[in-house]
Structure 1
C-alpha cells in the first residue's frame, strides 16, 4: 500500500533556540533570491522547527549562527480559542545535524 507523506528539508543558519521541558524549538533561516524592480535581493524565510527526544538533545547543542540540516514531518494543527478555530503548521524534526559551527575557524 502506498504511503502518503508530508516532509521537509531545511539547510540554514540557527537564529535562536528555545529549550522547554520536553521540547526544543529552533528558528532556522533559509535564504532565497528574488527580483525586486529588476534587482536581485536576498529573501530570508524563518522556519520554527519543533524537536523532541534525541533531536531536542542535538538541537540543544547547536548555537546561534550554526549551519544546520534538519529533516522531518509537516503536521497541520488546530485548536479552539475564544470560539474561533486557529490553524497552524508544525515542522517536526526527525533528524537534526550541525553542519558548521558559527564560531569554528575554517
Structure 2
C-alpha cells in the first residue's frame, strides 16, 4: 500500500485567495536546529496549500486570517504543462483536510 500524506502545521501568512471554487493559503512553518558548530539556527519555510474541495475552501475563506495557526492534511501532486514548447514541471500541495487551530482552547475549530 502506498501513502501520500503530508501533514503541515504552521501559521497563515495572509488571507486565503480564491480562484474559482478553490482557494490557496500560504502557511509558514519554522525549523530550529543546532548546526555543527553548536550555533542555533532558525528558518521559516513557506508552503502554498491548495484547497480544491469547494466546502473546505468556502469555510477557509470565511474563517481563516493572517496569523492564525493552522493544521492541514495534504497530498503531494506532481504535474506538468507545456509553455512555449517547453515542459514546465509542478509540485502542488493539495489539502484533503484543513483546520484552524485555536491555541487558547483545547478544541480546534475544524473548517
Q: TM-score range by the shorter chain?
A: 0.7 to 0.9
* Unpaired stretches in structure 1, ≥5 consecutive residues: none
How many equivalent pairs are there?
100
Displacement of 1:100 in angstroms is: 2.3
Structure 2: runs of 5+ lacking an equivalent? 105-111
Describe the SS at the equivalent of 1:57: helix
Q: Deviations over 1:13-38 (max 9, x none)?
A: 00022122211000001111134554
Please give the secondary structure, in 1, of the residue aligned with 2:56: helix
Query: Normalization by structure 1: what TM-score?
Result: 0.84
1:83-103 deviation digits (Å, cap 9, x = unpaired):
1111111111111111027xx
Counting only pairs closer than 5 Å after superposition, residues 1-106 of structure 1 correspond to structure 2 as 2=1, 4-16=2-14, 17-35=16-34, 38-52=38-52, 53-60=54-61, 61-100=63-102
- The structure whose residues are more often strand, as a share, is 1
Q: Secondary structure at the match of 2:93?
A: strand
C-alpha contact (below 8 Å) 1:70/1:93 kept by paired residues: yes
TM-score normalized with structure 2 length:
0.80
* Distance in 2 separating the partners of 1:33 and 1:83: 42
Deviations for 1:43-86, whole angstroms, at most 9, x for unmatched residues?
11000000021221222120000001000211001111111111
Q: CA deviation at 1:6?
A: 1.4
